[in-house]
Structure 1
Amino acid sequence: MDKLILGRYIPGNSLLHRLDPRSKLLAMFLFLLVIFWANNLVTNLVLIGFVFGLIGLSSIKFSFFLNGLKPMIGIILFTTFFQLFFTGGGRIYWQFWIFQLTEHGVTQAAIIFARFVLIIIFSTLLTLTTTPLSLADGIESGLAPLARFKVPVHEIGLMLSMSLRFVPTLMDDTTRIMNAQRARGVDFGEGNLIQKVKSVIPILIPLFASSFKRAYALATAMEARGYQGGEGRTKYRVLKWTYLDSLAILVMLGISAVLFILKS
């Protein structure tokens, strides 16, 4: 379960768990905007300290986030590599053919690495401390003004909710199918690149089949319960904006102001 943290929810009663999903979504949007102001050592240290403070408030073990970052570490290192060896400027530490290690390259690589990690951790905090249904309600409430322009707000929130909900389910199915294929003698690490790609086919076919079967069962269950869309539906879960939500947004605005002042 710890291999993929996107889409997981960990029950708890921490301060972050009690916040309204709309305030957490707005904080996430602000974080994605201001993280690009962190372009030097001081601003990145401020953001790192802020995110670590949120992890402490969530009462979730940090080792959980480290395990959750493992599936993304390849993409992060690949992007960091290009920044490290293909960014010129400043003092040159090492150079060979088209590769060069420069002062600006090291700085940009460190900043890009920090941005990727912080964005993943912050977005993961959102899903770990918010149930998929509450997250869908928050998205639907935030997009409510677009309903005047015939935008299917309720359906968008429902699709996002189900997507987040079934990410860990699909990963569990993938693990189960891979274990079954290994029991039949399939080795996913053998051979060249083409052979490795071919070995993925026995995973994709049953995975697609089980996904369509699950989608059909879900649609049947929704129809059996009389689902007719969002029009005219009442809310069982009523979102409440409290002073803690206002305080959370003020804290994000304060962090934004500090980053704006300290950025290069």
Structure 2
Amino acid sequence: MIRDITLGQYYPTDSVIHRLDPRTKLIGTIAFIVSLFLFKSWLGYAAATLFLAGIIRVSKVPFRYMMRGLKAIIVLLLITVVFNLFIIPGEVIWDFGILKITREGLSQAGFMAVRLIYLIIGSSIMTLTTTPNDLTDGLERVLGPLKVLHVPVHEISMMMSIALRFIPILLEETDKIMKAQMARGADFENGNLIQKAKNMVPLLVPLFLSAFRRANDLAMAMEARCYRGGEGRTKMKPLLYEKRDYMAYGILVAYLAAVTAIGIVVR
């Protein structure tokens, strides 16, 4: 399961999505995620499905590779579905004594499951098609207006980019530690969920030590290169919008207009 997490990883290939300006992808991802929380009917999610399928197709990232990231949230997905099934009141369709499944709960559970899945896929597309450096530059430009309020935009962008970059690094480190302990007789695969959770406890100390060591190495490397923040820092490749970016914004506006119209018509 550790190797199945795709968030924070970059998938190198040549596609239109990879060549888009990182600002376009950031704004598009935020707009898509916001739209997921506005849907009140399955027709809206059908529109989101078509939009997301088109993006995955154009990105040239294998669909099977994209779906790998969902394995890591299966437990969270099940908890969300079960919670909505039995907690939300309404018209009862199945009665199991104390536990009752309502029509409204079933509908809400479906909405929440699809919403969570699409949120993970949408976020993964951005990180899979954007290098860490481009992501940092894009975040800095998008958050640029906050400089008027003396917000350290460059530092915030750098921290977010490093955090995303550290996700696959820490997952790889976790996998190495697990294999080393399994070679010494540790069992991480057998037992119920609680036993598996207890078996993961011995991983925490070496994982934290490894994380602090890598963070210290990164800090020393940045200091050795005289990094002092983003004030007055120039770019070797400044971000410039191109024709494909304006076309992408046009498609995004068309999608948002379609889902808004669906929300108005279907209530």
1:199 and 1:26 mapped to 2: Cα distance? Answer: 41
Q: Is the 8 A contact 2:3 2:171 kept in 1?
A: no
Which residue of structure 2 lines up, in the alignment, with residue 87 of structure 1? 88
1:198 and 1:14 mapped to 2: Cα distance? Answer: 43
Which residue of structure 2 lines up, in the alignment, with residue 61 of structure 1? 62
1:133 and 1:225 mapped to 2: Cα distance? Answer: 16
Query: How far has the Cα of 1:231 moved from its partner?
Result: 1.1
Q: What amino acid sits opposite 2:232 in the alignment?
A: G
Q: What amino acid sits opposite 1:57 in the alignment?
A: V
Gaps of 5+ in 2: none
Q: What amino acid sits opposite 1:29 in the alignment?
A: I
Which residue of structure 1 lines up, in the alignment, with residue 76 of structure 2? 75
Question: What are the superposed Cα offsets for residues 104-142 of structure 1, whole Å, 9 maximum, x if unpaired?
Answer: 222111111111111111111000111111011000111
- For residues 9-88 of structure 1, the aligned pairs below 5 Å read 9-88=10-89
Query: How far has the Cα of 1:201 moved from its partner?
Result: 3.0
Percent of residue pairs bearing the same amino acid type: 43
Q: Does 1:228 align with 2:228?
A: yes
Q: 1:139 to 1:72 in 2, by over 3 A?
A: same
Q: State the secondary structure of the residue aligned to 2:95.
A: strand
- For residues 231-242 of structure 1, the aligned pairs below 5 Å read 231-242=231-242
2:192 and 2:108 mapped to 1: Cα distance? Answer: 34
1:86 and 1:202 mapped to 2: Cα distance? Answer: 35
Query: How far has the Cα of 1:197 moved from its partner?
Result: 4.7
Q: TM-score under structure 2 normalisation?
A: 0.92
Gaps of 5+ in 1: none
Q: 1:254 to 1:86 in 2, by over 3 A?
A: same
Which residue of structure 2 lines up, in the alignment, with residue 219 of structure 1? 219
1:252 and 1:2 mapped to 2: Cα distance? Answer: 32
Which residue of structure 2 lines up, in the alignment, with residue 255 of structure 1? 255
Q: TM-score under structure 1 normalisation?
A: 0.93
Question: What are the superposed Cα offsets for residues 163-206 of structure 1, whole Å, 9 maximum, x if unpaired?
Answer: 11111010010011011111111223566777655433321111
1:176 and 1:121 mapped to 2: Cα distance? Answer: 26
1:115 and 1:96 mapped to 2: Cα distance? Answer: 27
Q: State the secondary structure of the residue aligned to 2:94.
A: strand
Aligned length: 263
